[in-house]
Amino acid sequence: MEILNYEILIHASPQKVWRILWDPDTYTEWTQYFAPGSSMHSDWQVNGRTVFLDANGDGMVSTITELEEFKVVTFKHLGMLEDGIEDLDSESVKKWSGVLEKYVLEDVNGSTLLSVELETSKQHVELMNNGLKKGFEIVKQLAEA
């Protein structure tokens, strides 16, 4: 697994940036570089259920391991969801199950330093680099508007 780090300074409050990241309408906008029509559905509970889906309803099953609203959220990816069927146990899923994706929002004199650290396979590094760099620019544009 590769560990990737990204950050961007956004001239908006952590509360506004948080809403841009996780509101269903704006989430779809900034995640379009991973998969058009992406959505996230979460109960926003530590050890609860979160799913990240593409436009076809396929995606990842995850949980939240750390949550402090407007400051930090860490997702632990557990498996896949395809054609309505969860896969948490196959050999291909076991190779990466448990990887983390942590978002941190730090107030810097009224602006927000948004950073993410995530684990990914070598084959997904380019997708993550492209998706997060372009996606964070969208978050910045929306938050600063």
Q: What is the pLDDT of residues 93-140, one digit of tens each?
A: 998 999 999 999 999 999 999 999 999 888 888 888 888 999 999 999
Q: Which of 63, 75, 69, 130 is closest to 105 using CA atoms?
A: 69
C-alpha 8/C-alpha 113 separation (Å) is: 6
Maximum CA pair distance of the chain? 47
Q: State mean pLDDT over 59-79.
A: 97
Banded model confidence at residue 11, pLDDT cuts 50, 70, 90? very high
Cut 0.85: pTM above it: yes
Task: Please state the CATH superfamily assignment of the domain spanning residues 2-144 in this structure.
Answer: START domain (3.30.530.20)
pLDDT for 21: 98
